[in-house]
Amino acid sequence: MRRVVVTEFITLDGTIEDPGGSEKSPFGGWAFKFDRGPEGNKFKVDETLASDALLLGRTTYEGFAAAWPGRTDDEGFADKFNSMPKYVVSSTLTSPEWNNSHVIGGDLEKEVTLLKEGGDGDLVVHGSGQLARALLELNLVDELRLMVFPYIAGGGKKLFAEGTPTSLELVDAKQAGEVAILTLQRK
């Protein structure tokens, strides 16, 4: 059975919004102001190479679909990202163009449960804050991988919704350059 793994760049105050920055963002690409060192880069490559499929919200999907299809690298990250199945949760997207992409609509809990039953590797959620929060609320997340940046955004979209207490077990913690990588599972 697949596990749902949510992986996020996150600030000390829980913000996940726009870590790479954009002209519209007041946060200015906070994730790239810090060195995650070779350990952090290796963590992201290993995470992707071990993944079976991607599960993404529409906004993250559209950003990835615009950026990744033309990329290559020596580690195989881009090839894996581009070739693996991608499931995008959307009520508006009907014809995804990125290779091996499928739209999920309707009952999120039912659809994700079927995806979990349909394979053995990790079904990884990158970014996709609204989707990640919904999956957490539905108790469908098996593991959280948080790359915690030493930054307080002071605002923006948070990973954890207010009023949703959840106990987690820390199963791994490591430093990667200037960031901490925490791996947590539900108790």
Q: What is the pLDDT of residue 20?
A: 64
The order of strands in the sheet holding 168-176 is 101-104, 86-89, 51-57, 122-126, 3-11, 143-149, 179-186, 168-176
Angle between helical axes of 129-137 and 108-117 (0-180°, round to 10) = 80
* Residue at 90: amino acid letter: S
For the cut 60, the answer to whether the pLDDT of residue 15 exceeds it is yes
pLDDT of 51-107, one tens digit each? 999 999 999 999 899 989 989 888 888 999 999 999 999 999 988 999 999 999 889
Q: What is the pLDDT of residue 161?
A: 79
Contact 116, 1 (CB under 8 A): yes
Domains of the chain are 3-20+27-186 (3.40.430.10)
Which of 31-35, 128-132, 149-153 comes out lowest in average pLDDT?
31-35
